[in-house]
Amino acid sequence: MRHKLPEVSARERDGDPVRLHVVTGKGGTGKTTLAAALALALAAGGGRVLLVEVEGRQGIAQLFGTPPLPYEERPVADTPGGGRVSALAVDAEAALLEYLEIFYGMRRAGQALTRFGAVDFATTIAPGMRDVLLTGKATEAVRRRVGDRRRGGRDTPAAPHVYDAVVLDAPPTGRVAQFLNVNAEVAGLARVGPIRNHADKVMETIRSPRTVVHFVTLLEEMPVQETLDGVAEVRAVGLRAGSVLVNMVRAEHVAAADLDAAAAGALDLGALERGAKAAGLDRPDAVARGLAAEMADHARRVRAEAEVRERLAGIDLPRYELPLLAPGVDRAGLDTLAGRLRAQGAV
């Protein structure tokens, strides 16, 4: 990924290697938050970015403090330099109906399908169909160019892309390879026919060097293990891993020697007590004992974090660290995270 300069036109920016950023992570790691921060980082300096969510959770609306997103691309944030992040909550049923209308002009048939429960059938049951519809929507936005008469129409190379980048808030790490491996998903289903062709087109975009998968993790064992597994799985199906985003990293206030002492239970209680007294705290002896216990706890956690950090270092991907923010991340928090992504060269 390169820095985008604001004065570069969208057309010239077409040379930028990555256009679809898929963000995955174990539940609870802040995947949606970092997907939004990445979108803001990409839009900083004038980019047009689409942020897509597919899990029906309305996580984007919550983050940006907007009403629930409809099945429609809506601007959610402007960035300095004229950039803009739009967002879309993809719904598989709506995507299927839209797909039928676009490719077959079958709005009425679509309605009949709804009545017969066929939409339920196709999107919930037909394996892989749901994922193809969801990824199909995101990849269509990647390919879409200014002036396309209809969505999903031909990829006219002359016009600039509508979006400089698309960020997909994807399903969790454990499912992401399957989700993206569209070909395999529909292989058992449609050997020929329009869904097959549609899937091939989706797969072409997902397999292209312009698509990468980012893995959000915490400095904890389980998310790190899932990241290691996820990177291997994504690569096994021929897709590109982009980076590891280590989220909620705490600032370290304590000197290494003090941490060692704390871990060994050999902290200087007298020094703590004198400090507590100097700061005018009540019961400095009790405060000192409590502080020592907390520091010992902290030292154990730091050690555990160092271990998982070492395992992460074994992955041959760029690693970016994002700070732990006060909870209830809002736009200011997202901007902070976006700034950190840019400062580390992630975008």
Partner 1 sequence: MSAGAPDGAAPAPFDVGALLADRATRIVVCCGSGGVGKTTTAAALGVRAAELGRDPVVITVDPARRLAQAMGLTELDNTPRPVPLPGAPGRLHAMMLDMKRTFDETVEEHADPERARQILANPFYQALSSSFSGTQEYMAMEKLGQLRHSGDWDLIIVDTPPSRSALDFLDAPERLGRFLDGRLIRFLSAPARSGAFRLLGAGVGMVTSVVSKIVGAQALRDVQSFVSAFDAVFGGFQERAEATYRLLQAPGTAFVVVAAPEDDALREASFFVDRLRADRMPLAGIVLNRVHGTAVPGLGADAAAAAARALEDTGEHPLAAAALRLHTERARVHEREARLRDAFTATHPEVPAAEVPARPEDVHDLVGLAEIGRGLTG
Which tokens is 52 given? 């897509």
Q: Which of these, 214, 138, 133, 205, lies nearest to 176 by C-alpha position? A: 214
List, in sequence order, every residue forming a beta bridge with 85; answer none if it has no partner: 49, 77
With respect to partner 1, which residue has the nearer C-beta, 44 or 261?
Answer: 261
With respect to partner 1, which residue has the nearer C-beta, 3 or 250?
Answer: 250
With respect to partner 1, which residue has the nearer C-beta, 111 or 156?
Answer: 111
With respect to partner 1, which residue has the nearer C-beta, 17 or 27?
Answer: 27
For the bound state, the minimum distance from the C-beta of residue 92 to partner 1, rounded and expressed in Å, comes to 10
For the bound state, the minimum distance from the C-beta of residue 315 to partner 1, rounded and expressed in Å, comes to 17
For the bound state, the minimum distance from the C-beta of residue 117 to partner 1, rounded and expressed in Å, comes to 5
For the bound state, the minimum distance from the C-beta of residue 227 to partner 1, rounded and expressed in Å, comes to 13
For the bound state, the minimum distance from the C-beta of residue 174 to partner 1, rounded and expressed in Å, comes to 7
Distance CA 135, CA 133 (A): 6
What is the per-residue DSSP string for 168-224? EEPSPHHHHHHHH-HHHHHHTT-SSSHHHHHHHHHHHHHHSTTEEEEEEE-SSHHHH
For the bound state, the minimum distance from the C-beta of residue 318 to partner 1, rounded and expressed in Å, comes to 25
Distance CA 227, CA 243 (A): 10
For the bound state, the minimum distance from the C-beta of residue 290 to partner 1, rounded and expressed in Å, comes to 3
Order of strands across the sheet that contains 165-169: 74-79, 83-89, 48-53, 165-169, 20-25, 211-217, 241-249, 319-323
With respect to partner 1, which residue has the nearer C-beta, 150 or 191?
Answer: 191
With respect to partner 1, which residue has the nearer C-beta, 16 or 53?
Answer: 53
Which tokens is 268 given? 């200087």
Residue 153, number of CB atoms within 10 A of its CB: 14
Q: Which of these, 316, 7, 22, lies nearest to 165 by C-alpha position? A: 22
Q: Which of these, 295, 321, 324, 293, lies nearest to 308 by C-alpha position? A: 321
What is the per-residue DSSP string for 150-168? STT----TTSPBS-SEEEE
Longest dimension (CA), the chain: 81
With respect to partner 1, which residue has the nearer C-beta, 122 or 245?
Answer: 122
